[in-house]
Amino acid sequence: MTRDQFLASCAAFPLLPYLFKTGGSSSLQNREGFTVTAGEGRHHGHIPLKGVNRNLMDMKVSGSDSLGGMTIFEQISRSPGFGTPLHVHYKQDEVFYVLDGNYAFRVGEKKFRLGKGDSIFLPMNVPHAWTQLSRKGRMTVIFQPAGKMEQFFLTLSGLDHEPGKDEIAKIFLDHEMEVVGPPLEIG
Q: What is the pLDDT of residues 42-98, one digit of tens each?
A: 888 888 888 878 888 999 999 999 999 999 999 999 889 988 999 999 999 999 999
Domain 40-180 has CATH 2.60.120.10: yes
Q: What is the pLDDT of residues 142-187, one digit of tens each?
A: 999 999 999 999 999 999 999 999 999 999 999 999 999 999 988 7
Domain ranges of the chain: 40-180
pLDDT at position 185 is 85
What's the pTM value of the predicted model, to 2 decimals? 0.81
Rounded CA-CA distance 144/72 in Å is 9
- When mean pLDDT is compared across 7-16, 41-50, 67-76, 128-137, the lowest value belongs to 7-16
pLDDT at position 1 is 53
- E strand intervals along 27-186: 47-48, 56-61, 71-77, 85-89, 93-100, 103-107, 110-114, 119-122, 128-132, 137-144, 177-183
Calculate the dihedral angle through the C-alpha atoms of 115, 39, 78, 151, rounding to the nearest 10 degrees. -100
Q: Average pLDDT of 110-136? A: 97
Rounded CA-CA distance 90/125 in Å is 5
Upper half-sphere CA count for residue 25 (Cβ side, 13 Å): 1
